[in-house]
Amino acid sequence: MKNSAHYPNECIMAVLNSNRGSDGKRRSNVRRTMPVILSVAATIIICFQARAGAPQGRREIVSDDFTRPRPTPTPKPSKPTTTARTSRPPIARPPEAPPSTSKRYRLASSSSPNQPLSAAAAIEQLGITLWRLRPAKTSDTGERMLIREKDKSSEWIPERIEADTPLHEGDRVRLSIESPREGYLYIVDRDLYAGDKLGDAILISPTLSMRGGDNQVRPGKLIDIPAQEDDPNYFKASPNRSDQIGELLTIIVTTAPLDLTIGNEPLHISASDVAKWEKAWASVTERFEMEGGAGQAWTKEEKEAAAAKGTRQLTRDEPSPQTIYRIAAMSKTAFLVSVRLTYGR
């Protein structure tokens, strides 16, 4: 096996050797000097690109890995066939394969770039779609959300954005969260300031005023934050200080409810409790973003799967999250993901 450290040198020597004559001596024709220099430069670039493009562990995933636990879609009834007026038996045709709904995801970030998750490791997953709202147009085909503010209602279109998309003051945003395993969802929000300083920890979900405190998750069920029925049913990006650079969301999924007293209002959480949870449940995390997903509009299926009073679940062939987090499981009772939302200037 070749030593990768000498790989570019071998490429350079290959080009230089190509400039030797049959007698092994270098050609001294001045007119050939510039083409050789350009050839060497091009070869070096290609060699380094080849090394950069070499497999460095799993850098892509597909949505099937995430959506497999969802319910199987109900097959559509076949159309009745008319009896042919002939004595010959009908020609047997193989059933048509359903169109693939699998989506590809690229690795966008890792909490430990030099420690990629092993395929053999116990891995948890969490799906998040961050929606940015814009006023609806008559030509829009996506699902519309009714926004209520100052005793007036207007229609807006939620569109997908990647998790690291900068938010600007006044942006209206929402989150949809899905877990491929059953459990209980908790979300802690902290203001993020310059120098990675953090504000107070506030449990923004669950609350009794949001779906009556129901925070159970399961495959295909979406939890909207805020809920569609809330008033207001969106968050507005609004830094409270000049040095605020974003928000830090700590998202936890547990196998059993946490011992917390939930009320109608968001609950203040002590810094020591958050630190305890992070120590017990945080681990190496990779973030994957759907290729071509940003800009896609909210769908009817996603709207129904997140309705507070509905029982609708997304099936395997219906929309998958915009962002998938993969976490190296440290505990069988819970896992934790930190989601950093940034404010642009």
Is pLDDT of 38 > 80?
A: no
The mean of the pLDDT values for the chain is 83
pLDDT digits (tens, 9 = 90+) for 246-295: 999 999 999 999 999 999 999 999 999 999 999 999 999 999 999 999 99
Taking the C-alpha atoms of residue 102 and residue 114, their distance in angstroms, rounded to an integer, is 28
Average pLDDT score over residue span 81-97: 59
pLDDT at 92: 63
Cβ contacts of 166 within 8 Å, gap of 6 or more: 342, 343, 344
pLDDT at 211: 87
pLDDT category at 150 given cuts 50, 70, 90 is: confident
pLDDT at 152: 83
pLDDT at 302: 97
pLDDT digits (tens, 9 = 90+) for 114-124: 877 876 568 99
Average pLDDT score over residue span 59-71: 94
Taking the C-alpha atoms of residue 150 and residue 231, their distance in angstroms, rounded to an integer, is 11
Average pLDDT score over residue span 17-41: 50
pLDDT at 78: 62
278: its two tokens: 């992070």
Is pLDDT of 26 > 90?
A: no
* All structural domains of the chain with their residue ranges: 4-52, 104-342
pLDDT digits (tens, 9 = 90+) for 162-214: 999 999 999 999 999 999 999 999 999 999 999 999 999 999 999 998 888 99
pLDDT at 46: 43
pLDDT digits (tens, 9 = 90+) for 285-337: 999 999 999 999 999 999 999 998 878 999 999 999 999 999 999 899 999 99
Strands (E), the chain: 60-62, 104-110, 123-135, 145-149, 152-161, 172-178, 183-193, 197-198, 201-205, 216-217, 223-225, 235-236, 244-254, 267-269, 285-290, 323-328, 334-342
DSSP string, 44-103: HHHHHHHHHTS--S--EEETHHHHTTSPPPPPPPPPP-PPPSSSSPPPP-PPPPPPP---
pLDDT category at 53 given cuts 50, 70, 90 is: very low
Q: How many angstroms separate the Cα of 155 from the Cα of each of 279, 287, 299, 309?
A: 43, 32, 15, 21
334: its two tokens: 């819970």
pLDDT category at 3 given cuts 50, 70, 90 is: very low
- Say what the pTM is: 0.77
Average pLDDT score over residue span 15-22: 50
Average pLDDT score over residue span 126-147: 95
Cβ contacts of 79 within 8 Å, gap of 6 or more: none
Taking the C-alpha atoms of residue 32 and residue 20, their distance in angstroms, rounded to an integer, is 11
Taking the C-alpha atoms of residue 187 and residue 204, their distance in angstroms, rounded to an integer, is 6
- Identify which has the larger pLDDT, 99 or 243: 243
